[in-house]
Amino acid sequence: EMNYRHTFHAGNHADVLKHVALLALCDALTAKPAPLFALDTHAGRGLYALDSNSALRTGEAEGGIGRLLAESPKHLAITRYLAAVRACRQVHGSASYPGSPWLLAHALRPDDRIAACELHPEEAQLLGSTFAADARVSAHERDGYAAIKALLPPRIGDTRFNRGLVIIDPPYEAQLEEFDTAIHALREGLTRWPQGTFALWYPIKMRRALQPFYRRAAALPAKSTFVAELLVHPDDSPLRMNGSGLLLLNAPWRLDETLRGALQLLARTLGDPSGSWRLDWLKEPA
Ligand code: SAM
């Protein structure tokens, strides 16, 4: 059933896109003092070893974080991400790579709270031990989609959180079904927590196959909706992942501008010679 293991893919171009954007999102949200709540529905184990057998077997990180570190293109959001990876390596060793909950814990503040969900028992156990010493992070072995219903709107003790983010990063093992499930979860989440920012990662084989997804995403009850996409191969083969995207709902003001600049350099660095990127509004803010 659950065959996907992120340890084969950690640090690849999709992780780079996702994690650059995640940090930019956290930084934009922490510009205001109110405490944030972050829900990571598909958190993984939180910390990866790029010298593990599984990582070396695919070599995917080489074309992602490996290339980016070697070339260090100059853009604030990229520099920020590379600094976070270096900070992780200082603590956990030079072959380590941070997962999304690690980056959340790194970027957020003492009064912010993070709920990280992971369904695979072994991954969930590792997730729990990674954050055992961080009281801000609660690790749950549970279905991340069910957590959207259970944990939103966020409330811990007497504290209600008006601001924060939900990141949904599913494995897409049952390809088309996962898009449906994710759209449904976003609708549920937005209804429960209308002011939250939501980010959904998705793989891209051929962009034109995604038209129904874009249409459904545009109809979600958000104040604003855009997609940020990075392709590292030509958009012409249905057989492989040519790139990936993030659907961003209720993103903070000007996150689109930050990501535009970063995407341009990511496409050039990771997509050499055939990279491309786009940032398209599906629903412009009023
Ligand atoms: N977000 C992580 C990161 O950026 O470091 C990577 C997550 S990986 C792409 C997807 C994870 O979701 C896998 O670890 C998988 O075991 C887990 N998973 C699959 N179905 C799930 C579900 N329904 N609820 C929670 N986790 C799930």
pLDDT band for position 10 (cuts 50, 70, 90): very high
Give the separation between CA 168 and CA 217, rounded to whole angstroms: 14
18 is a domain residue: yes
34 is a domain residue: yes
Give the residue, by CA position, lying nearest to ligand 1 atom 9. 171
56 is a domain residue: yes
pLDDT band for position 272 (cuts 50, 70, 90): confident
pLDDT in tens, 167-197: 999 999 877 799 999 999 999 999 999 999 9
- CA distances from residue 167 to 18, 50, 186, 228, 275 in whole angstroms, order as listed: 10, 23, 10, 14, 25
For the chain, how many structural domains are there in total?
A: 1
Give the separation between CA 168 and CA 151, rounded to whole angstroms: 14
Q: Is the CB of 45 under 6 A from ligand 1?
A: no
Q: Which domain holds residue 233?
A: 6-283
Q: Is the CB of 43 under 6 A from ligand 1?
A: yes
- Residues 200-209, mean pLDDT to the nearest whole number: 94
194 is a domain residue: yes
Any bridge partners for residue 261, and if so which? none
Instruction: Report the percent of the chain where pLDDT is more than 70.
Output: 100
- Residues 141-145, mean pLDDT to the nearest whole number: 97
Instruction: Report the percent of the chain where pLDDT is more than 90.
Output: 92
The predicted structure's pLDDT at residue 68 = 98
- Residues 149-158, mean pLDDT to the nearest whole number: 94
CATH of the domain at 54: 3.40.50.150
Catalytic residues: 169
pLDDT in tens, 223-269: 999 999 999 999 988 888 999 999 999 999 999 999 999 999 999 99
pLDDT(218) > 90: yes
187 is a domain residue: yes
The predicted structure's pLDDT at residue 216 = 98
1 is a domain residue: no
> What is the phi/psi pair of residue 159, to 5°?
-90, 125
Q: Is 118 annotated as a binding residue?
A: yes
The predicted structure's pLDDT at residue 126 = 98
Give the separation between CA 10 and CA 15, rounded to whole angstroms: 6
For the question of whether the overall pTM of this predicted structure is more than 0.80, the answer is: yes
Q: Is the CB of 6 under 6 A from ligand 1?
A: yes
The predicted structure's pLDDT at residue 247 = 98
257 is a domain residue: yes
pLDDT band for position 13 (cuts 50, 70, 90): very high
For CA atoms 151, 156, 160, 164, the dihedral sign is: negative
pLDDT in tens, 15-33: 999 999 999 999 999 999 9
What is the Å distance from ligand 1's center to 179 Cα?
A: 14
Q: Is the CB of 8 under 6 A from ligand 1?
A: no
ipTM of this complex prediction, to 2 decimal places: 0.99
DSSP string for residues in 241-256: --EEEEEEESPPTTHH
Give the separation between CA 222 and CA 208, rounded to whole angstroms: 23
pLDDT(207) > 80: yes
Average pLDDT of the residues of the chain = 96
Give the residue, by CA position, lying nearest to ligand 1 atom 21. 119
pLDDT in tens, 33-42: 999 999 999 9
177 is a domain residue: yes
